[in-house]
C-alpha cells in the first residue's frame, strides 16, 4: 500500500550543494556568510528593508513582540483558532492573550470582532495569515494606527501570499516567519523577523544575541536571549529561497489538482480564497459541512487505515488549559462560534509539493470512497 504523509520537504541537489559548501567552509555555527546573505535575499523577496534570522518561528514572534515592548499588564489580540505558539509567546512575555473569533471567509482574525476586543491595555495584535490565506488587513491596520497598537503579522503558514498585491510580512510593524520542516520553505528549524523599521531590526538583533552591547564586550544593559540561526541552516535557507517560485507553484498546482478532483463533491469546501487575496497553499484544507460535519474524526481514522495521513485543524485555543481563562471576543459577546466550528470540522490532506497528479488522483479516489 502506498503511504502519503501530510507534508514532506522538497530538498534536492541545490540544497545539498549549499550545505556542502557551508560545511566545507568551517563556518557551521552562528557566524558566516550565509546568514547575512539569507537575510538580504529574504528581505528583498518580502518587500522590506530588514530581515533578521532567528532559531524558529516561535522565537521570531517572541522577539518581535518583546522588541515592540510587549510585557506584563498588556493585552495582545490573537485569533481564536491558530497554533498554540501564538498565545504561548504572549504569555511567556507576561502579557495576556485575548482570543478573537475568526472570519468564516478567511479563517483569519475577524476585523469586526477585533475592533470589539480593543481595550485600554491592548498593546499589540498578532494577525496570523492562517492556512496560507492572508488576513483582511486594511481595517486592522487602521485600528492599529488609530490606537497606537503594534501589528505583528504571523506569516509562518503563508510565506509568499499577497494581500491586495502586497507580500505578507511587509504590511505590519513586523512579520514573523517559520522554516520548520512542514512550512513553505525549510531550514530544518528556523525563523525570520521582517520589518521596514531599522530601529526595530536593531532591537531584534540585540535581543537575539544576549543583548550584548555592540561596542562593549560582555556588557548587557538588559535581559537578552540566544535566538541565533546557524550558517548551515542559513545555507539551506538560501538554497530553498532560490527555489521559492518553484516551491510555491508546485504547491499551488497540488491544490489545483485537489480542486479538480473534488469540485463536484457536495458538503465539502477546500481552502478559502477572497477576491482581494493571493493565498499560497501551505496545507490542503478540507472542511466538512452538512451531513458530513460530524464525521471528521472517523474519516481521519479510515484514511489512516488506507495509508493516507491527515491532520485535524488546530484545537480552538479556548479548549486548551493554558488559554481557557483568556478573555474572548466574538461578533456577539464572548462566544467564538466560527473558530469552534472550523476546529471541529476541518482536516488537512497530504499537501507536499512533491506529490504528482496521479498521487492526488489516488488520494482523492480513496477520499471519495470514504466519504
Ligand atoms: C508553525 C507556526 C509557528 C511556529 O513556528 P516554529 O518554527 O515551529 O516555532 C508559529 N505560528 C504559526 C501560525 C505557525 O503555523
Which of 63, 64, 83 is the pocket-test mutation for ligand 1 (most atoms within 8 Å of CB)? 83
Q: How far is the CA of 256 from the centre of ligand 1 (A)?
A: 25
Distance 217 CA to ligand 1 centre (A): 33
Q: How far is ligand 1, taken at its centre, from the CA of residue 317, in Å?
A: 15
Per-residue pLDDT in tens (0 to 9) along the chain, 371 residues: 678 999 999 999 999 999 999 999 999 999 999 999 999 999 999 999 999 999 999 999 999 999 999 999 999 999 999 999 999 999 999 999 999 999 999 999 999 999 999 999 999 999 999 999 999 999 999 999 999 999 999 999 999 999 999 999 999 999 999 999 999 999 999 999 999 999 999 999 999 999 999 999 999 999 999 999 999 999 999 999 999 999 999 999 999 999 999 989 999 999 999 999 999 999 999 999 999 999 999 999 999 999 999 999 999 999 999 999 999 999 999 999 999 999 999 999 999 999 999 999 999 999 999 99
Site of grid cell 540544497: 15
Please choose from 133, 168, 180, 313 the residue to mutate so as to test ligand 1's pocket, defined by most ligand atoms within 8 A of CB: 180
Give pLDDT, residue 209.
97
Q: What is the pTM of this model?
A: 0.97
Ligand 1 centroid, distance to 91 Cα (angstroms): 16
Bridge partners of residue 154, in order along the sequence? 128, 176
| Residues recorded for the chain | 371
Rounded to the nearest whole angstrom, what is the distance from the C-alpha of residue 169 to the centroid of ligand 1?
14
For residue 362, the CA-to-ligand 1 centroid distance in Å is: 30
Q: Which atom of ligand 1 is nearest to the CA of 191?
A: 7
- DSSP result, 237-286: HHHHHHTHHHHHHHHHHHHHHHHHHHTT-SSEE-----TTEE---SSEEE
Q: What burial class does residue 307 get, using C-beta atoms within 10 Å of its C-beta: 0-12 exposed, 13-18 middle, 19+ buried?
A: middle
CA distance 311 to 66: 32
Residue 110 Cα to ligand 1 middle (Å): 20
Element counts in the chain: helices (H) and strands (E): 12, 15
Atom of ligand 1 nearest to the CA of 179: 7
Whole-number Å distance between alpha carbons of 296 and 275: 28
Residue to substitute in 6, 7, 56, 58 for testing ligand 1 pocket (most ligand atoms within 8 angstroms of CB) = 58
Q: Whose CA is nearest to atom 5 of ligand 1?
A: 57
The protein residue whose alpha carbon is closest to atom 2 in ligand 1 is 156
Distance 21 CA to ligand 1 centre (A): 28
pLDDT at 1: 62
Atom of ligand 1 nearest to the CA of 157: 15
Smallest CA-to-CA distance from 171 within 124, 135, 207, 147 is with 135
* Contact present, 135 and 153 (Cβ < 8 Å): yes
The grid coordinates of residue 58 equal 516561535
Taking the C-alpha atoms of residue 320 and residue 84, their distance in angstroms, rounded to an integer, is 9
Question: What DSSP assignment string belongs to 79-131?
Answer: ESSS-THHHHHHHHTT-EEEEEPBPTTTSSB-HHHHHHH--TTEEEEEEE-GG
Instruction: Give dist(CA 8, CA 50) in Å, integer.
Output: 29
Report how far ligand 1's centroid is from the alpha carbon of 85 (Å).
6
Instruction: Report the separation in Å between the CA atom of 359 and the middle of ligand 1, taken as the mean of its atom positions.
Output: 27
- Residue 227 CA to ligand 1 centre (angstroms): 15
Axis-axis angle for helices 357-370, 244-262 (nearest 10):
40
Name the closest-CA residue to atom 1, ligand 1: 156
Q: Residue whose CA is closest, atom 14 of ligand 1?
A: 156
Q: Is the dihedral of CA 345, 350, 356, 361 positive or negative?
A: negative
Predicted local distance difference test score (pLDDT) of residue 87: 98
What residue's CA is closest to ligand 1, atom 7? 57
> Residues with beta carbon inside 6 Å of ligand 1?
56-58, 82-83, 85-86, 128, 154, 156-157, 178, 180, 191
Amino acid at each position: 500500500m502506498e503511504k502519503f504523509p501530510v507534508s514532506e520537504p522538497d530538498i534536492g541537489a541545490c540544497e545539498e550543494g549549499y550545505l556542502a559548501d557551508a560545511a566545507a567552509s568551517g563556518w557551521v555555527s552562528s557566524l558566516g556568510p550565509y546568514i547575512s546573505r539569507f537575510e538580504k535575499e529574504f528581505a528583498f523577496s518580502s518587500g522590506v528593508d530588514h530581515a533578521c534570522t532567528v532559531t524558529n518561528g516561535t522565537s521570531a514572534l517572541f522577539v518581535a513582540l518583546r522588541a515592540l515592548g510587549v510585557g506584563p499588564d498588556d493585552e495582545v489580540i490573537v485569533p481564536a483558532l491558530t497554533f498554540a505558539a501564538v498565545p504561548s509567546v504572549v504569555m511567556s512575555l507576561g502579557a495576556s492573550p485575548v482570543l478573537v473569533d475568526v472570519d468564516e471567509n478567511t479563517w483569519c482574525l475577524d476585523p469586526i470582532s477585533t475592533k470589539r476586543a480593543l481595550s485600554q491595555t491592548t498593546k499589540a495584535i498578532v494577525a496570523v495569515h492562517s492556512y496560507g490565506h492572508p488576513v483582511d488587513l486594511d481595517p486592522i491596520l487602521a485600528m492599529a494606527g488609530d490606537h497606537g497598537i503594534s501589528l505583528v503579522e504571523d506569516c509562518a503558514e503563508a510565506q509568499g501570499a499577497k494581500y491586495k498585491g502586497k507580500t505578507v510580512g511587509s504590511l505590519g510593524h513586523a512579520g514573523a516567519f517559520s522554516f520548520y520542516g512542514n512550512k513553505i520553505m525549510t531550514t530544518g528549524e528556523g525563523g525570520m523577523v521582517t520589518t521596514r523599521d531599522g530601529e526595530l531590526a536593531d532591537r531584534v538583533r540585540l535581543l537575539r544575541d544576549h543583548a550584548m552591547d555592540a561596542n562593549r564586550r560582555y556588557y548587557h544593559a538588559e535581559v537578552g536571549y540566544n535566538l541565533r540561526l546557524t550558517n548551515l541552516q542559513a545555507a539551506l535557507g538560501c538554497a530553498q529561497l532560490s527555489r521559492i517560485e518553484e516551491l510555491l507553484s508546485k504547491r499551488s498546482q497540488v491544490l489545483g489538482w485537489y480542486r479538480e478532483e473534488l469540485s463536484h463533491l457536495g458538503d465539502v469546501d477546500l481552502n478559502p480564497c477572497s477576491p482581494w487575496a493571493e493565498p499560497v497553499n501551505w496545507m490542503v484544507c478540507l472542511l466538512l459541512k452538512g451531513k458530513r460535519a460530524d464525521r471528521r474524526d472517523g474519516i481521519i481514522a479510515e484514511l489512516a487505515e488506507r495509508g493516507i495521513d491527515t491532520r485535524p485543524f488546530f484545537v480552538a485555543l479556548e479548549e486548551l488549559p493554558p488559554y481557557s481563562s483568556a478573555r474572548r471576543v466574538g461578533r456577539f459577546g464572548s462566544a467564538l462560534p466560527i473558530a469552534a466550528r472550523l476546529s471541529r470540522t476541518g482536516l488537512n490532506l497530504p499537501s507536499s509539493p512533491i506529490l504528482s497528479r496521479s498521487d492526488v488522483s489516488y488520494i482523492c479516489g480513496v477520499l471519495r470512497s470514504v466519504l
